[in-house]
Amino acid sequence: MPPRSNPSERQRRLGLELRKLRTGAGLSGDQAGALLEADRTRISNIEAGRLDVSRNRLYKLLREYGCPRGSYFDGLMAMAQERGKGWWDEFRDVVAPVGCDLAELESLSAAIRIHEPLFIPGLLQTEDYARSVIGESEDDKRRVDRFVAFRVGRQRVLTAESPVRFRAVIHEAALHVQVGGPKVMRKQLLRLIEVARLPHVTVQVFPFEAGAYSSFSRSFGIFGGMLPELDTVHLEHPLNSVFLRDGGHISEYARMFERLSTLALAEVDPEAAPESHESADSLSLIQHVMYRL
């Protein structure tokens, strides 16, 4: 099989980790190739994500690189599992590779932390809300339908048999932006409350009164692997979304998220009795905005 020209984020990340382990072990590309009875070009392509490596060969490389058995070892082995095509591949006619990478990353994550300063996070959007957002930049109805179906498909990670742990800090501004009009927004805000009933979902609102910190940190997502060393940060941008894999960057964004969570209102607890809301919390603020629409 010839090397691929556009590897996925998963493939690039596995290759990056293998390169770090090889150089840490003091092995050259030629020496690593000899372990697989291959040349250095094959090792180079594996480390760039352009070629897959079988689980048997990966196991051999990890052992020869001195990687001890444990969560990191198992996490790398899991990244090399032969998955075939994911559900997201059927949307490649309209969704850019980075969007499919994001869907695959979500499906592989053990935990997801999202901060959104202006919109409701995609994994929590209703179809009508998503359609209104996407329709602002896309006129072709068929393409809009496909984009909406893709966004809704991503949400299955929250309802799977083993769902991802999900935390979101949403700025109060996102509750007020009239996406699709009052009717669409009422349904969307109600959806936030309903999804927060799931035991693995936490939703907090960052209020205007908490200051400007949320604006400075902008929109980002932290996707947790089997351990922090395999976490990935995603920065969404209209023209060029970015994945960050460096440990220093990941730690900084993790600190930012915890700061946001500390400054935000208490999480949505739909089961709490109304009289228990002695002070402002996320649920009461969402309900307040919803009732004013």
CATH of the domain at 38: 1.10.260.40
Report whether pLDDT(293) > 90: no
CA separation for the pair 128, 184 (Å, rounded): 6
Looking at the domain assignment, is residue 94 inside a domain?
A: yes
pLDDT of residue 85: 77
Side-chain half-sphere of 283: how many Cα atoms within 13 Å?
Answer: 20
Q: Whole domain around residue 52: which residue ranges?
A: 9-79
Looking at the domain assignment, is residue 116 inside a domain?
A: yes
The whole-number average pLDDT for the span 236-241 is 75
The answer on 230 and 118 residing in a single domain is yes
Report whether pLDDT(1) > 80: no
Confidence of residue 213 (pLDDT cuts 50, 70, 90): confident
Among 62, 79, 96, where does a domain finish?
79
Name 28's bridge partners.
none
The answer on 262 and 194 residing in a single domain is yes
Confidence of residue 277 (pLDDT cuts 50, 70, 90): low
The answer on 170 and 238 residing in a single domain is yes
Give the contacts of 83 (CB within 8 A, at least 6 positions apart).
none
pLDDT of residue 84: 61
- Single out the residue of 209, 199, 210, 218 nearest to residue 268, CA to CA: 199
Looking at the domain assignment, is residue 1 inside a domain?
A: no
Among 31, 53, 79, where does a domain finish?
79
Give the contacts of 142 (CB within 8 A, at least 6 positions apart).
none
The whole-number average pLDDT for the span 204-208 is 96
- Residue, of 79 and 186, whose pLDDT is higher: 186
How many domains does one find in the chain?
2
CATH of the domain at 232: 3.30.870
Report whether pLDDT(278) > 70: no
The answer on 198 and 98 residing in a single domain is yes
Residues 75-82: contacts with CB under 8 Å, at least 24 apart? 75/225, 75/226, 75/227, 75/229, 75/230, 76/14, 76/17, 76/18, 76/230, 78/108, 78/226, 79/10, 79/13, 79/14, 79/108, 79/230, 80/14, 80/52, 80/53, 80/54, 80/55, 81/55, 82/52, 82/55
Looking at the domain assignment, is residue 2 inside a domain?
A: no
Whole-model pTM: value is 0.91
CA distances from 45 to 11, 51, 164, 242 (A): 11, 5, 31, 22
Among 35, 56, 79, where does a domain finish?
79
The whole-number average pLDDT for the span 253-265 is 96
Report whether pLDDT(274) > 80: no
- Residue, of 229 and 156, whose pLDDT is higher: 156
pLDDT of residue 83: 59
